[in-house]
């Protein structure tokens, strides 16, 4: 890392300008994973700003997962970008929005529903034989869990997790995982007293989804996912 990367900022720029500047250095490759940033004092001098401004900028960079802040001699270093880090931030923001009633579970589920339909379509095109076999095994296990809500929910999440991985697109999987973790966190209390007949209905619609994936027929997949979504909505938000 070159020592002259950091220079005084134009008058009037604050912490967000520092954040943008360091992001540009990362994108351009001038700052690489594991590179250490200068100390807070050094950065303040080089940017010609106060230390509180630098501190705020570093905190923002840490929150968005671009730097790792350690106490002691290690200081602040550039993190290796991990998609899960950003998804965790998204998950926390969505959870907060639900808690302060800026959004609802229904709205969250609406987005997830559209996502899962696309996932099913891609899984039909790209799933490996190993993944299809894994999905079948999970469904077999689910059949024996229709008398146990907790066990069934665990298997259901696992089934859809494999389906998301079967897209062979890590972004789809990461986004699905962020939504699923949050939704099922709130779903658990809503479905814990479900009638066993309803669990059997949910099991059947998952069977239909899997058979549609095996068929590779887009129309059949759309129909199966529509039935799956309708079954969930009837349980969670009965009229």
121-138: pLDDT as tens digits: 999 999 999 999 999 999
Confidence tier at 71 by pLDDT (50, 70, 90):
confident
| pLDDT over threshold 90, residue 192 | no
- Asked if 162 and 176 count as a contact pair (C-beta separation under 8 A), the reply is no
Domain ranges of the chain: 3-78, 84-236
> Is the pLDDT score of 12 beyond 60?
no
Q: Where are the alpha helices (DSSP H) in 166-236?
A: 170-191, 196-215, 218-236
186 within 8 A of 105, measured Cβ to Cβ: yes
Three-state DSSP state, 36:
strand
- pLDDT given for residue 195 in this prediction: 67
Q: In terms of pTM, does the model score above 0.75?
A: no
Query: If you average pLDDT over residues 181-210, what whole number do you get?
Result: 78
Q: What is the dotted CATH code of the domain comprising 3-78?
A: 1.10.10.10
**Helix, strand, or coil here: 74?**
coil
What pLDDT, on a 0 to 100 scale, did the predictor assign at position 224?
A: 97
- Span 143-156, mean pLDDT? 86
Question: Are 112 and 180 in contact, with CB atoms under 8 Å apart?
Answer: yes
Confidence of residue 176 (pLDDT cuts 50, 70, 90): confident
CATH code matching the domain that covers 84-236, chosen among 1.10.101.10, 1.20.120.530, 2.60.120.10, 3.40.50.150: 1.20.120.530
């Amino acid at each position: 890392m070159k020592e002259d990367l950091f220079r005084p900022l134009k008058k009037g720029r604050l912490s967000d300008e520092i954040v943008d500047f360091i992001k540009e250095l990362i994108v351009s490759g001038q700052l690489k994973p594991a590179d250490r940033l200068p100390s807070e004092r050094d950065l303040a001098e080089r940017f010609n700003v106060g230390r509180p401004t630098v501190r705020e900028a570093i905190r923002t960079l840490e929150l968005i997962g671009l730097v790792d802040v350690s106490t002691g001699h290690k200081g602040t270093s550039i993190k290796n970008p991990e998609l899960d880090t950003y998804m965790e931030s998204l998950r926390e923001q969505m959870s907060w929005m639900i808690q302060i009633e800026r959004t609802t579970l229904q709205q969250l589920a609406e987005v997830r529903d559209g996502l899962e339909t696309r996932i099913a379509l891609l899984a039909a095109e790209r799933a490996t034989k190993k993944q299809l076999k894994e999905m079948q095994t999970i469904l077999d296990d689910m059949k024996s869990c229709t008398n146990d809500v907790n066990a069934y929910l665990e298997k259901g999440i696992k089934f859809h997790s494999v389906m998301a991985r079967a897209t062979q697109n890590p972004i789809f999987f990461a986004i699905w995982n962020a939504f699923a973790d949050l939704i099922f966190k709130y779903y658990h209390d809503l479905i814990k007293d479900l009638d066993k007949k309803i669990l059997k209905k949910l099991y059947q619609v998952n069977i239909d989804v899997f058979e549609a994936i095996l068929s590779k027929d887009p129309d059949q997949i759309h129909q199966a996912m529509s039935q799956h979504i309708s079954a969930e909505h009837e349980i969670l938000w009965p009229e």
